[in-house]
Amino acid sequence: MIRLLTKYGITQGQIANLTGIPQGRISEYKSGKRIPTAKHTFEAFADGLGMPGHLRSALGLAARTEVNGTLMVDGGIHIPGDTFDLQVLAEAVGKRSDVVKRREMLAMVAKVGASAAVIQTEAWERVAHALSKPSSLDESIVREMEARSAGFHRLEEIIPAAVLFKGLTVHLRELGTLLSGIPANASDELRTRFVAVAGESSVLAGWAASDMGNAAAARNYYETAERAAKEAEDPAILACSLGYRSYAPSVKGAHGRSRALLSSALEALSGRSESPGTLSWIAARHAEESAALGDKAVALNSWARADDAYSMTDTEEDRVWTRFLDQNRFDSYRISTYANIGRLDEAQEAASALLARLGHPDRKKAVIILEGIAVAHLSQGSVQEACKLAREGLSLVRETEFLMWLPKFEAIGQGLTRWRAQPPVRAYLEDLATTKRHFASSLR
């Protein structure tokens, strides 16, 4: 493989970048000084080069790489673990110009294994050509990577973080290899767009790593995104990175640290109108964290800013990360903010309206919404309703493996302990203990 790749102009440095294997070791493999025998070495090549199933099989590897066994979602539909299939799926989802409903994404997941074989040769050759001649970056390659990045952001709603992260790391290796062969040029529009794609993809990789509990990896990807934002002169990417980073301290109760990150994000967006969707999300988060700190005046001021920006945005047409911010998710910030500043009647009214129209939302989004409404009920002393909603949220935490949000449900459990004698509270606390054991065993 190394000899074949170098024959077509791909350097050992590029191979090292794609596979994660040191360049010196690559050289030893090529010269025959060292003979690779470990399975993980061949997996590094297969994953790094995005090899389709039949080529993985030729290396003696499984055609599909699975995480925690077979991954299935509603109706027994398999989530593709093969990284090539994930690239195909993400690109197909990203190229859809209309709103992609959750059930439509699941249908695409079901079909991707069958359709990948038809298009993999063309895609493989196109990327291989770009890797061999990176300075010849063209519009088609940039559009392909833009679509793939957008698709990964949509797939975050239905794919567990560990699977998403695996696909994103391969995607980012390809982006890094292509970028390494293109000289920095501020007037090069294609390169600037490509850097922006790297930033958009890096913030999502940071979010997935954080969801998996890998704080070091999350920090590295967020820092990469922020460097890309600076080079592309795209403050919305910087704000997005800071916004994602704000969740980790928040779930641990460090609301001051969280608000400081969000304040920096708002400062980055100051005087900018390119992404009202990003501004509405960041301002809503700032209001939520300010309310958690008991700073009512700042919370209301930030909420007014969020509400104003949201009224002017089409989140589907804004940035790839703003598509999660539908009316339900936006109102969940309203509920959390109002509940924490003592406007309980308004929080309850918003919660009732949200529950009435909730239906069957995206599962990860539902986890966040249900937790927020449960907290609002708990703040009003509605213990039974809080327990009911929190148990529904815990069930979805297990289903989606949304480990990041578990501390929020633990906080609800702590708030319920004085009502421990009530059957609904006992049931919730038992469910919480079961959920914690579930994740503890899966991590082992």
What are the tens digits of pLDDT across the range 241-262? 999 999 999 988 899 999 999 9
The tokens for 411 are 């906080």
Query: What is the pLDDT, as a whole number, of residue 161?
Result: 84
Judge residue 96's burial from the number of C-beta atoms within 10 Å of its C-beta, 0-12 exposed, 13-18 middle, 19 or more buried: middle
Distance CA 412, CA 391 (A): 11
Query: What is the pLDDT, as a whole number, of residue 81?
Result: 53
Query: What is the pLDDT, as a whole number, of residue 156?
Result: 85
Read off the pLDDT band of 126 (50, 70, 90): very low
Mean pLDDT of the chain: 80
Query: What is the pLDDT, as a whole number, of residue 113?
Result: 45
Query: In terms of pLDDT, which residue wins out, 30 or 174?
Result: 30
pLDDT in tens, 415-437: 999 898 999 999 999 989 988 88
Distance CA 389, CA 373 (A): 7
Neighbours of 220 (CB within 10 A): 15
Element (H, E) at 380: none
Neighbours of 47 (CB within 10 A): 24
Q: Check whether 278 has a pLDDT greater than 80.
A: yes
Q: Check whether 382 has a pLDDT greater than 90.
A: no
Give mean pLDDT, residues 372-381. 82
Return the top range by mean pLDDT from 2-16, 180-194, 351-365, 416-430: 416-430
DSSP 299-313: HHHHHHHHHHHHTT-
Query: In terms of pLDDT, which residue wins out, 206 or 111?
Result: 206
Query: What is the pLDDT, as a whole number, of residue 104?
Result: 61
Query: What is the pLDDT, as a whole number, of residue 61?
Result: 75
Query: In terms of pLDDT, which residue wins out, 177 or 66?
Result: 177
Read off the pLDDT band of 309 (50, 70, 90): very high
Q: Check whether 80 has a pLDDT greater than 80.
A: no
Longest Cα separation, the chain: 74
